[in-house]
Amino acid sequence: MTLNRLLSNDLPRSKLLTAVLLTLFLLLALAPFIAPGVNALSVAAKALIFIVLVASFDLLLGYTGIVSFAHTMFFGIGAYGVAIACSRWDATWLSLGLGIVTALILSLLLALAIGLFSLRVRAIFFAMITLAIASAFQTLASQLSEITGGEDGLNFRLPDMLASGYMYLEQPIFGVSISGRFLTYYILFFAALAMVLALLRIVNSPFGRVLQAIRENEFRAEAIGYRVVVYRTISSVLSALFATMAGVMLALWLRYNGPDTSLSFEIMLDVLLIVVIGGMGTIYGSVIGAVLFVIAQSYLQDLLKLGSDAASGLPWLAALLSPDRWLLWLGVLFVLSVYYFPTGIVGRLRNRAAKL
């Protein structure tokens, strides 16, 4: 069956999960028609970007079992690649392409260097070393203000065909004007779709099986004859490349990039939260988690505000429910999900389906 092949034989294996995924797919595919407002479309685009970013992190954390805190570094490299190329040179497709290729090569080399240097030792070393490197990189990006625009970041122009003022059709279709913005959204959509399918392909290939073997028992995998260091390094390089592409998508959508938008440690924490809550070791978990997270980030704060207003009689409760403290509740959810459902939402749904 073609669909089966497209999903690399890794079907959702739960009716509810299938339904959720289909709904999300349709929502994202038709977002410009369902929610034509600028804000709603930005939420959808952000969801697409996070899907790729989180799914690529899942390859590392969920499938290979290594924790990296440098994932946003590669995300940032992708975004800065586009930003620097398009702000220095003319806004042409050529400079855009050159920026993307340079960013990919830089990510490849960096991931290779970090992997070969620190994946030989235990996973815990890798987590600490990547944390240090990522923070150094963030400082570097804000220090080199001549290249990166420093703390202010870079505003840049993209080729005219992607501009929101560029109209492809005189008349709007179903009330939606077919502009460069519309085109950009669909570029993002199909890029995200292609990359999620590619990641599914990777994790369900023989290579992906070896990664899972390493995750389950490193010593045994080595004993069977797989070079653990090599597999781990390839996995971290692949994951870095996908993260770089997510960064490219971010830059295409925002036409701006700065240290806080793509490199900040908060994004790294968000990615970690999404992967765990969505379900580690299931690419689908990243999709569901990312969409839920972006919606929560955009709308949960309003809900908390309601709660905070309702609890205004009790100041401490109001402070706990303040919309600025939404990360607190996400953190609690994160800890609870590591304890009680380490396979996340997707694992939960699949277990239920298997029991029925």
Partner 1 sequence: MSNTLTASGPAKPAVDFDWKPLLLVPVLALLVLPVIGSPSTWLTLTVAGLAMGMIIFVIASGLTLVFGLMDVLNFGHGVFIALGAFVATTILGVMPGWTASPELWRNLIAVFAAMLVAMAVAGAVGLAFERVLVRPVYGQHLKQILITMGGMIIGEELIKVIWGPQQIPLMLPEGLRGAVIVGDAAIEKFRLLAVLMGGLVFVALAWVLTRTKIGLLIRAGVENSEMVESLGYRIRRLFVAVFVVGSALAGLGGVMWGLYQQTVIPQMGAQVNILIFIVIIIGGLGSTGGALIGALLVGLMANYTGFLAPKVALFSNIALMVAILLWRPRGIYPVANR
CA-CA-CA-CA torsion for 163, 166, 168, 170, nearest 10 degrees? 140
Measured distance between the N- and C-terminal CA atoms of the chain, rounded to whole angstroms: 25
Give the per-residue contact string, 271-300, with partner 1 (x = CB under 8 A; - = no): -xx--x------------------------
Stretch that binds partner 1, among 43-51, 102-110, 123-131, 346-354 (CB under 8 A): 123-131
Comparing CB distances to partner 1, the nearer of 64 and 244 is 64
Binding segment for partner 1 (CB under 8 A), chosen from 38-46, 130-138, 170-178, 345-353, is 130-138
Instruction: Convert residues 176-205 into a mask of x (bound to partner 1 by CB under 8 A) and - (unbound).
Output: ------------------------------
Q: In whole angstroms, how close is the CB of 65 to partner 1 at the nearest point? A: 6
* 241 and 108 Cβ atoms separated by less than 8 Å: yes
Asked if 175 and 36 count as a contact pair (C-beta separation under 8 A), the reply is yes
Selected from 67, 116, 176, 300, the binder of partner 1 by CB under 8 A is: 67
d(CA 345, CA 17): 9
Q: Binding to partner 1 by residue 325, rule CB under 8 A?
A: yes
311 belongs to the binding site for partner 1 (CB under 8 A): no
The verdict on 11 binding partner 1 (CB under 8 A) reads: no
d(CA 330, CA 174): 38
d(CA 168, CA 182): 10
Q: What is the DSSP string of 247-304?
A: HHHHHHHHSEE-HHHHT-HHHHHHHHHHHHHH-TT-HHHHHHHHHHHHHIIIIIHHHH
Does residue 139 interact with partner 1 by CB under 8 A? yes
Q: Closer CB to partner 1, residue 284 or residue 334?
A: 334
- Residue with Cβ nearer partner 1 (96 or 304): 304
Between 143 and 351, CB nearer to partner 1: 143
Cβ atoms within 10 Å, residue 19: 12
- Of 259, 201, 267, 249, give the one whose Cα is nearest residue 57: 267
| Binding positions for partner 1, rule: CB under 8 A | 61, 65, 67, 117, 121-125, 127-129, 131-133, 135-136, 139-140, 143-144, 265, 269, 272-273, 276, 316, 319-320, 322, 324-325, 327-328, 330-332, 334-335, 338-339, 342
